């Protein structure tokens, strides 16, 4: 019985020691970014920013259209009648507005992040 306890204890100690060391570290190639790599990174970042700007324009146009539709539908309702379409449209506007806000935040924070670390 004490041999069993000793073996379990040794196994536990070995496992804990290995887990404390973390995963094995693989050597990383630390090299300075070449001018070609920097150019490619800038081009990629520029393309991503252009795409994000196009998405923002498209989404804000859609928001404007939806807001107009919502206003027209609300004008048609009375104090006793609220259309299910009005609620659905308001939900759609809310989701789209959040998406626009998140894209704007990402674009605003992009210059603060700086260049990516070399790989």
Conformational region of residue 22, where left means phi above 0, alpha means psi within -120 to 50, and beta covers everything else = left
In 3D space, the residue among 74, 78, 55 whose CA is nearest the CA of residue 66 turns out to be 74
| 70-99 pLDDT per residue, tens | 999 888 888 787 788 888 999 999 999 999
| 35-80 pLDDT per residue, tens | 888 899 899 989 988 898 899 999 999 999 999 999 998 888 887 8
Residue 29 pLDDT > 90? no
């Amino acid at each position: 019985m004490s041999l069993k306890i000793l073996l379990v204890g040794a196994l536990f100690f070995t496992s804990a020691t290995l887990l404390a060391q973390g995963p094995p570290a693989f050597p990383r190639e630390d090299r300075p970014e070449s001018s070609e790599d920097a150019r490619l990174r800038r081009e990629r970042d520029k393309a991503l920013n252009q795409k994000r700007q196009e998405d923002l324009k498209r989404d804000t146009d859609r928001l404007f259209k939806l807001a107009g539709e919502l206003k027209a539908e609300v004008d048609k309702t009375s104090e006793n009648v609220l259309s299910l379409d009005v609620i659905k449209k308001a939900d759609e506007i809310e989701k789209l507005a959040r998406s626009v806000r998140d894209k704007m935040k990402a674009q605003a924070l992009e210059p603060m992040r700086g260049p990516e670390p070399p790989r």
